Homo-oligomer: A and B are copies of this chain.
Amino acid sequence: MTEKMNALVKEERGPGLALREVDIPSYGRDEVLIRVLAASICGTDYHIYSWDEALRDRVQPPLIAGHEFVGEIASMGDAVTGFQEGDLVTAETHIVCETCAQCRMNQRHVCINTEIIGVDIDGCFAEYIALPAVNLWPTDRDLDLGVASSQEPLGNAVHTALAGPVAGARIAVTGCGPIGLMSIPVLKQCGARQVIATEVNPYRIALAEKVGADAVLDAANEDVLARVHELTGGEGVDGVLEMSGNPAAIDQACKMVRMGGRVSLLGLPSESQVTLNLGDDVVFKGIDLQGIVGRRMWETWRQMEGLLAGGLDVSDIITHQLPMDEFMEGMHLMESGECGKVVLIP
Protein backbone atom coordinates (compact mmCIF):
# COMPACT_ATOMS: atom_id res chain seq x y z
CA MET A 1 0.00 0.00 0.00
CA THR A 2 1.39 3.37 -1.01
CA GLU A 3 1.89 5.87 1.76
CA LYS A 4 0.11 9.19 1.67
CA MET A 5 1.11 12.81 2.10
CA ASN A 6 -0.47 16.26 2.10
CA ALA A 7 0.02 18.45 -0.96
CA LEU A 8 -1.33 21.61 -2.58
CA VAL A 9 -2.91 20.43 -5.80
CA LYS A 10 -4.11 22.29 -8.86
CA GLU A 11 -7.10 20.05 -9.50
CA GLU A 12 -8.76 21.68 -12.47
CA ARG A 13 -8.40 24.40 -15.06
CA GLY A 14 -9.56 27.35 -12.97
CA PRO A 15 -8.57 29.47 -9.96
CA GLY A 16 -7.51 27.93 -6.68
CA LEU A 17 -5.36 25.25 -5.09
CA ALA A 18 -6.55 22.48 -2.82
CA LEU A 19 -4.86 20.81 0.13
CA ARG A 20 -5.25 17.11 -0.61
CA GLU A 21 -3.94 13.78 0.57
CA VAL A 22 -2.09 12.15 -2.31
CA ASP A 23 0.38 9.33 -2.83
CA ILE A 24 3.96 9.93 -1.86
CA PRO A 25 5.73 9.98 -5.23
CA SER A 26 7.74 7.05 -6.50
CA TYR A 27 11.26 7.65 -7.78
CA GLY A 28 13.61 6.08 -10.30
CA ARG A 29 17.14 4.72 -10.15
CA ASP A 30 18.73 8.15 -10.65
CA GLU A 31 16.28 9.97 -8.44
CA VAL A 32 15.84 10.85 -4.79
CA LEU A 33 12.83 11.29 -2.55
CA ILE A 34 13.09 14.43 -0.44
CA ARG A 35 11.16 15.29 2.70
CA VAL A 36 10.27 18.97 2.26
CA LEU A 37 11.16 21.13 5.28
CA ALA A 38 10.18 24.48 3.81
CA ALA A 39 8.83 25.68 0.47
CA SER A 40 8.57 29.27 -0.69
CA ILE A 41 5.95 30.90 -2.87
CA CYS A 42 7.03 32.32 -6.21
CA GLY A 43 5.11 34.61 -8.57
CA THR A 44 4.78 31.56 -10.79
CA ASP A 45 2.85 29.78 -8.02
CA TYR A 46 0.59 32.76 -7.67
CA HIS A 47 -0.08 32.71 -11.45
CA ILE A 48 -0.99 29.03 -11.23
CA TYR A 49 -3.19 29.65 -8.18
CA SER A 50 -5.02 32.63 -9.75
CA TRP A 51 -5.12 30.95 -13.16
CA ASP A 52 -4.34 34.14 -15.04
CA GLU A 53 -3.00 34.19 -18.61
CA ALA A 54 0.63 33.76 -17.69
CA LEU A 55 0.74 29.98 -17.43
CA ARG A 56 -2.73 28.56 -17.96
CA ASP A 57 -1.92 27.33 -21.45
CA ARG A 58 1.04 25.41 -20.12
CA VAL A 59 -0.12 23.81 -16.87
CA GLN A 60 -1.95 20.45 -17.08
CA PRO A 61 -3.95 19.64 -13.91
CA PRO A 62 -3.85 17.71 -11.72
CA LEU A 63 -0.51 19.09 -10.63
CA ILE A 64 1.20 19.63 -7.29
CA ALA A 65 2.42 23.24 -7.38
CA GLY A 66 5.60 24.75 -5.97
CA HIS A 67 9.26 24.63 -6.97
CA GLU A 68 11.29 26.49 -4.33
CA PHE A 69 12.15 24.37 -1.32
CA VAL A 70 14.67 22.88 1.03
CA GLY A 71 14.46 19.38 2.41
CA GLU A 72 16.21 16.24 3.56
CA ILE A 73 16.85 13.19 1.46
CA ALA A 74 14.44 10.48 2.66
CA SER A 75 15.52 7.73 0.31
CA MET A 76 17.10 7.31 -3.09
CA GLY A 77 17.49 5.18 -6.21
CA ASP A 78 20.23 2.60 -6.68
CA ALA A 79 22.22 4.61 -9.18
CA VAL A 80 22.48 7.76 -7.10
CA THR A 81 25.97 8.61 -5.92
CA GLY A 82 27.37 11.58 -4.09
CA PHE A 83 24.41 11.94 -1.72
CA GLN A 84 23.26 10.22 1.44
CA GLU A 85 19.98 9.89 3.26
CA GLY A 86 19.53 12.81 5.60
CA ASP A 87 21.49 15.26 3.45
CA LEU A 88 20.02 18.76 3.39
CA VAL A 89 19.37 19.81 -0.19
CA THR A 90 17.63 22.30 -2.40
CA ALA A 91 17.25 21.92 -6.16
CA GLU A 92 17.59 23.53 -9.54
CA THR A 93 14.03 23.62 -10.80
CA HIS A 94 14.84 23.17 -14.50
CA ILE A 95 15.16 19.55 -15.51
CA VAL A 96 17.20 19.64 -18.70
CA CYS A 97 17.90 17.24 -21.53
CA GLU A 98 21.72 17.42 -21.76
CA THR A 99 21.49 16.71 -25.50
CA CYS A 100 20.10 19.80 -27.23
CA ALA A 101 22.38 22.43 -28.78
CA GLN A 102 22.00 24.66 -25.74
CA CYS A 103 22.90 21.93 -23.24
CA ARG A 104 25.89 21.08 -25.45
CA MET A 105 27.07 24.70 -25.34
CA ASN A 106 26.90 25.17 -21.58
CA GLN A 107 23.59 27.00 -21.77
CA ARG A 108 21.47 24.48 -19.91
CA HIS A 109 19.40 27.34 -18.46
CA VAL A 110 17.87 27.71 -21.94
CA CYS A 111 17.58 24.00 -22.76
CA ILE A 112 14.83 23.72 -25.35
CA ASN A 113 13.42 20.64 -23.61
CA THR A 114 13.29 22.07 -20.09
CA GLU A 115 10.70 20.71 -17.70
CA ILE A 116 10.04 22.86 -14.67
CA ILE A 117 9.13 21.50 -11.26
CA GLY A 118 5.68 22.59 -10.15
CA VAL A 119 4.79 23.72 -13.67
CA ASP A 120 5.36 20.78 -15.98
CA ILE A 121 5.75 18.06 -13.36
CA ASP A 122 4.68 17.68 -9.73
CA GLY A 123 6.23 20.20 -7.38
CA CYS A 124 7.23 20.80 -3.78
CA PHE A 125 4.14 22.17 -2.05
CA ALA A 126 3.91 18.79 -0.40
CA GLU A 127 5.50 16.70 2.30
CA TYR A 128 7.67 14.91 -0.23
CA ILE A 129 9.04 15.50 -3.72
CA ALA A 130 10.92 13.13 -6.06
CA LEU A 131 13.65 14.57 -8.26
CA PRO A 132 16.62 13.54 -10.42
CA ALA A 133 19.70 13.51 -8.20
CA VAL A 134 21.57 15.64 -10.73
CA ASN A 135 19.25 18.55 -9.92
CA LEU A 136 20.11 18.64 -6.21
CA TRP A 137 22.32 21.22 -4.58
CA PRO A 138 23.76 20.50 -1.13
CA THR A 139 22.79 23.09 1.42
CA ASP A 140 24.58 24.32 4.50
CA ARG A 141 22.75 23.56 7.78
CA ASP A 142 23.79 26.94 9.17
CA LEU A 143 21.54 28.69 6.71
CA ASP A 144 18.19 30.11 7.85
CA LEU A 145 15.53 27.66 6.64
CA GLY A 146 13.60 30.35 4.76
CA VAL A 147 16.78 31.46 2.97
CA ALA A 148 17.69 27.84 2.24
CA SER A 149 14.26 27.35 0.68
CA SER A 150 14.71 30.49 -1.44
CA GLN A 151 17.99 29.68 -3.13
CA GLU A 152 16.38 29.13 -6.51
CA PRO A 153 15.09 32.74 -6.76
CA LEU A 154 18.27 33.98 -5.09
CA GLY A 155 20.03 32.25 -7.97
CA ASN A 156 17.95 34.34 -10.38
CA ALA A 157 19.18 37.44 -8.60
CA VAL A 158 22.81 36.26 -8.71
CA HIS A 159 22.52 35.26 -12.39
CA THR A 160 21.10 38.65 -13.32
CA ALA A 161 23.53 40.66 -11.18
CA LEU A 162 26.61 38.82 -12.44
CA ALA A 163 25.56 38.94 -16.11
CA GLY A 164 27.74 42.08 -16.34
CA PRO A 165 30.40 43.89 -14.30
CA VAL A 166 29.43 44.74 -10.73
CA ALA A 167 32.65 45.50 -8.83
CA GLY A 168 32.92 49.28 -8.66
CA ALA A 169 29.84 49.78 -10.85
CA ARG A 170 26.65 51.78 -10.39
CA ILE A 171 23.66 49.49 -10.79
CA ALA A 172 19.93 50.17 -10.81
CA VAL A 173 17.35 47.58 -9.84
CA THR A 174 13.94 48.33 -11.33
CA GLY A 175 11.27 46.51 -9.35
CA CYS A 176 11.61 45.26 -5.77
CA GLY A 177 9.67 42.05 -5.66
CA PRO A 178 11.50 39.27 -3.82
CA ILE A 179 14.10 38.72 -6.55
CA GLY A 180 14.68 42.44 -7.02
CA LEU A 181 15.09 42.77 -3.26
CA MET A 182 17.53 39.87 -3.15
CA SER A 183 19.63 41.42 -5.88
CA ILE A 184 20.33 44.45 -3.68
CA PRO A 185 22.47 42.67 -1.03
CA VAL A 186 23.94 40.52 -3.82
CA LEU A 187 25.14 43.66 -5.63
CA LYS A 188 26.50 45.21 -2.45
CA GLN A 189 28.29 41.97 -1.55
CA CYS A 190 29.93 41.94 -4.99
CA GLY A 191 31.34 45.45 -4.68
CA ALA A 192 28.80 47.66 -6.42
CA ARG A 193 29.66 51.34 -6.08
CA GLN A 194 26.02 52.36 -5.79
CA VAL A 195 22.71 50.50 -5.89
CA ILE A 196 19.66 52.53 -6.92
CA ALA A 197 16.33 50.71 -6.62
CA THR A 198 12.95 51.74 -8.02
CA GLU A 199 9.61 50.49 -6.72
CA VAL A 200 6.05 51.70 -6.26
CA ASN A 201 4.86 49.69 -3.24
CA PRO A 202 5.65 51.49 0.06
CA TYR A 203 6.18 48.20 1.93
CA ARG A 204 8.78 47.11 -0.59
CA ILE A 205 10.36 50.57 -0.79
CA ALA A 206 10.97 50.30 2.95
CA LEU A 207 12.34 46.77 2.57
CA ALA A 208 14.68 47.83 -0.25
CA GLU A 209 16.12 50.48 2.03
CA LYS A 210 16.44 48.01 4.87
CA VAL A 211 18.45 45.53 2.80
CA GLY A 212 20.98 48.12 1.69
CA ALA A 213 19.98 50.09 -1.39
CA ASP A 214 21.89 53.37 -1.51
CA ALA A 215 18.78 55.06 -2.86
CA VAL A 216 15.23 53.85 -3.42
CA LEU A 217 13.14 55.86 -5.86
CA ASP A 218 9.37 55.88 -5.71
CA ALA A 219 8.60 55.21 -9.36
CA ALA A 220 5.01 56.39 -8.93
CA ASN A 221 5.89 59.78 -7.48
CA GLU A 222 9.43 60.67 -8.53
CA ASP A 223 11.00 61.56 -11.87
CA VAL A 224 13.13 58.44 -11.98
CA LEU A 225 15.34 59.45 -14.91
CA ALA A 226 16.08 62.86 -13.45
CA ARG A 227 16.91 61.31 -10.09
CA VAL A 228 19.23 58.69 -11.60
CA HIS A 229 20.96 61.43 -13.58
CA GLU A 230 21.46 63.40 -10.38
CA LEU A 231 22.54 60.44 -8.26
CA THR A 232 25.17 59.37 -10.81
CA GLY A 233 26.72 62.75 -11.48
CA GLY A 234 25.07 62.81 -14.90
CA GLU A 235 26.74 59.62 -16.09
CA GLY A 236 23.83 57.20 -15.75
CA VAL A 237 24.18 53.74 -14.29
CA ASP A 238 26.55 51.12 -15.64
CA GLY A 239 23.87 48.47 -15.54
CA VAL A 240 20.20 47.90 -14.82
CA LEU A 241 18.65 44.74 -13.42
CA GLU A 242 15.09 44.89 -14.75
CA MET A 243 12.97 42.93 -12.31
CA SER A 244 9.51 44.41 -12.82
CA GLY A 245 8.44 43.34 -16.29
CA ASN A 246 6.69 46.69 -16.54
CA PRO A 247 7.01 48.02 -20.12
CA ALA A 248 7.47 51.58 -18.89
CA ALA A 249 10.25 50.44 -16.55
CA ILE A 250 11.95 48.57 -19.39
CA ASP A 251 11.89 51.71 -21.50
CA GLN A 252 13.27 53.73 -18.58
CA ALA A 253 15.96 51.11 -17.99
CA CYS A 254 17.31 51.70 -21.51
CA LYS A 255 17.29 55.44 -20.87
CA MET A 256 18.93 55.43 -17.42
CA VAL A 257 21.84 53.21 -18.42
CA ARG A 258 24.99 54.92 -19.69
CA MET A 259 26.22 54.44 -23.25
CA GLY A 260 27.99 51.11 -23.45
CA GLY A 261 26.18 49.77 -20.38
CA ARG A 262 23.92 46.77 -19.95
CA VAL A 263 20.27 46.15 -19.17
CA SER A 264 19.62 42.66 -17.84
CA LEU A 265 15.98 41.68 -18.23
CA LEU A 266 14.73 39.08 -15.76
CA GLY A 267 11.20 40.39 -15.22
CA LEU A 268 8.79 38.82 -17.72
CA PRO A 269 7.04 41.69 -19.53
CA SER A 270 3.43 42.01 -18.46
CA GLU A 271 2.43 42.64 -22.09
CA SER A 272 3.38 40.56 -25.08
CA GLN A 273 4.40 43.55 -27.18
CA VAL A 274 6.89 46.03 -25.79
CA THR A 275 7.77 49.20 -27.68
CA LEU A 276 11.23 50.69 -27.34
CA ASN A 277 13.13 53.51 -29.01
CA LEU A 278 15.56 50.88 -30.20
CA GLY A 279 17.56 53.27 -32.39
CA ASP A 280 18.30 56.00 -29.87
CA ASP A 281 18.28 53.91 -26.71
CA VAL A 282 19.92 50.64 -27.77
CA VAL A 283 21.75 50.81 -31.12
CA PHE A 284 23.12 54.32 -30.90
CA LYS A 285 23.98 53.92 -27.21
CA GLY A 286 25.78 50.66 -27.87
CA ILE A 287 24.13 48.94 -24.92
CA ASP A 288 23.57 45.28 -24.30
CA LEU A 289 20.00 44.16 -23.67
CA GLN A 290 20.21 40.73 -22.10
CA GLY A 291 17.41 38.26 -21.66
CA ILE A 292 18.02 36.38 -18.42
CA VAL A 293 16.25 33.18 -17.48
CA GLY A 294 16.87 30.64 -14.75
CA ARG A 295 20.31 30.07 -13.36
CA ARG A 296 23.50 28.97 -15.10
CA MET A 297 23.99 25.30 -14.37
CA TRP A 298 25.90 25.19 -12.28
CA GLU A 299 28.08 28.28 -12.27
CA THR A 300 25.34 30.42 -10.71
CA TRP A 301 24.75 27.88 -7.93
CA ARG A 302 28.44 27.77 -7.16
CA GLN A 303 28.66 31.57 -7.08
CA MET A 304 25.62 31.75 -4.82
CA GLU A 305 27.05 29.12 -2.48
CA GLY A 306 30.25 31.14 -2.29
CA LEU A 307 28.47 34.42 -1.69
CA LEU A 308 26.36 32.90 1.12
CA ALA A 309 29.45 31.34 2.66
CA GLY A 310 31.18 34.72 2.36
CA GLY A 311 28.47 36.48 4.36
CA LEU A 312 25.66 37.37 1.95
CA ASP A 313 22.60 37.89 4.10
CA VAL A 314 19.13 37.94 2.56
CA SER A 315 17.23 36.82 5.65
CA ASP A 316 15.39 40.15 6.01
CA ILE A 317 13.70 39.41 2.69
CA ILE A 318 12.04 36.27 4.12
CA THR A 319 9.19 38.21 5.70
CA HIS A 320 6.59 35.55 6.36
CA GLN A 321 6.52 31.91 7.41
CA LEU A 322 3.24 29.98 7.49
CA PRO A 323 2.06 26.40 7.97
CA MET A 324 1.29 24.95 4.55
CA ASP A 325 -2.42 24.70 5.27
CA GLU A 326 -2.49 28.52 5.59
CA PHE A 327 -1.31 28.90 2.00
CA MET A 328 -4.31 31.11 1.20
CA GLU A 329 -2.91 33.78 3.45
CA GLY A 330 0.34 33.47 1.57
CA MET A 331 -1.43 34.00 -1.72
CA HIS A 332 -3.18 37.07 -0.33
CA LEU A 333 0.16 38.46 0.78
CA MET A 334 1.55 37.88 -2.73
CA GLU A 335 -1.43 39.67 -4.22
CA SER A 336 -1.03 42.67 -1.91
CA GLY A 337 2.70 43.02 -2.37
CA GLU A 338 2.97 43.53 1.39
CA CYS A 339 5.65 40.91 1.70
CA GLY A 340 9.11 39.83 0.69
CA LYS A 341 9.39 36.07 0.33
CA VAL A 342 6.63 33.95 1.92
CA VAL A 343 7.65 30.49 3.14
CA LEU A 344 5.34 27.55 3.76
CA ILE A 345 6.10 24.79 6.25
CA PRO A 346 4.54 21.42 5.27
Contact = CB atoms under 8 A, between A and B. Distances in A.
A82 to B, nearest CB: 4
A191 B189 contact: yes
B268 A109 contact: no
B110 A167 contact: no
A279 B268 contact: yes
A226 interface: no
Given A276-B273, A290-B288, A191 B194 contact: no
Nearest to A170: B306
A120 interface: no
Contacts of A250: 278
Contacts of A107: 259-260, 286
B259 A110 contact: yes
A162 B97 CA distance: 27
* Most chain B CB neighbours (cut-off 10 Å) among A260, A282, A284, A312: A260
A333 interface: no
Contact of A104 (B81, B104, B294, B301): B301
A293 B280 CA distance: 11
A98 B80 CA distance: 12
A278 B190 CA distance: 28
A106 B284 CA distance: 17
Contact of A286 (B110, B191, B267, B276): B110
B302 A105 contact: yes
Contacts of A267: 283
Best-buried of A189, A245, A278, A285 by chain B (most CB within 10 Å): A278
Copies of this chain in the oligomer: 4
A256 interface: no
Contacts of A293: 283-286
A291 B292 contact: no
Contacts of A305: 168, 193
Contacts of A134: 98
A191 B307 contact: yes
Contacts of A82: 97, 99
B105 A260 contact: yes
A170 B107 CA distance: 16
B191 A110 contact: no
Given A265-B283, A274-B277, 12 more contacts: A101-B258, A166-B167, A168-B309, A268-B284, A272-B277, A273-B277, A274-B276, A276-B276, A276-B278, A286-B293, A288-B290, A289-B291
Q: Which 10 A-B pairs have the closest CB atoms?
A: A168-B306, A193-B306, A107-B260, A110-B259, A168-B303, A289-B289, A190-B191, A274-B278, A110-B286, A282-B291
28 contacts: A82-B99, A101-B235, A104-B302, A105-B298, A106-B299, A107-B286, A109-B260, A110-B260, A167-B190, A167-B303, A168-B303, A168-B306, A168-B307, A189-B191, A191-B191, A191-B307, A191-B310, A266-B283, A273-B276, A274-B277, A274-B278, A274-B279, A275-B275, A286-B291, A286-B293, A288-B288, A288-B289, A288-B291
